[in-house]
Amino acid sequence: MFDEFMGLPAHPLLVHAAVVFGPLLVASVVAYSLVPPLRRYVGWVTVLLSVAAPFSLWFAVESGEELKARQIANGAQGELVAQFNEHQNFGDAAWRWAMVLGVLGIATVLVTTSAAKKPATPSSRAIGWGLAVLTLIAAGFTGYYVFKTGDSGARMVWS
């Protein structure tokens, strides 16, 4: 299913969505968490990207596994397989962190939206800040692994 699209390898095509949606999710979650006046403008974007980005990264991982299997079947070995494995490990981590960030992004929007409708209490502020810290940590890891995945893939292709 993830091997080809209209006769072309699917991985290079699907990677474009991951490369766009992953960093956009990071940016929208960071903006939503750190700049409260922007929340009404980026709330829905954050929720949509919290769903789209993890799926796009997962599709890229699945298609990459198919491409790796095809290359190994065609005789790839040694250093190239090691590069494939490193790239795959970065991609797996990026997808997992994007899933965590997606869940935290949706939770952040839900908590801040419902908190805006009620008077703030010390416990609600603590929950909001705790969620923001967790979200920013997940955003950092997601951004890092998306970058490392793209960098290792580009180095593999261009060297």
* Per-residue pLDDT tens digits for 28-42: 999 999 998 999 999
What is the domain extent for residue 9? 4-158
- Give the percent of the chain with pLDDT over 90: 58
CA 146, CA 95: separation in Å to the nearest integer? 8
Confidence of residue 120 (pLDDT cuts 50, 70, 90): low
Number of neighbours of residue 96 by Cβ within 10 angstroms: 17
Of residues 117 and 87, more confidently modeled: 87
Write the CA distances from 121 to 17, 115, 116, integer angstroms.
Answer: 40, 9, 11
**Mean pLDDT to the nearest integer, 110-114:** 84
> Looking at the 3D structure of the chain, how many domains does it have?
1
Place of tokens 């494939």: 84
Is 88 within 8 Å of 146 (Cβ atoms)? no
Number of neighbours of residue 91 by Cβ within 10 angstroms: 27
Confidence of residue 70 (pLDDT cuts 50, 70, 90): confident
What pLDDT shows up at residue 28? 96
* Per-residue pLDDT tens digits for 43-69: 999 999 999 999 999 999 999 998 888
Place of tokens 């795959």: 88
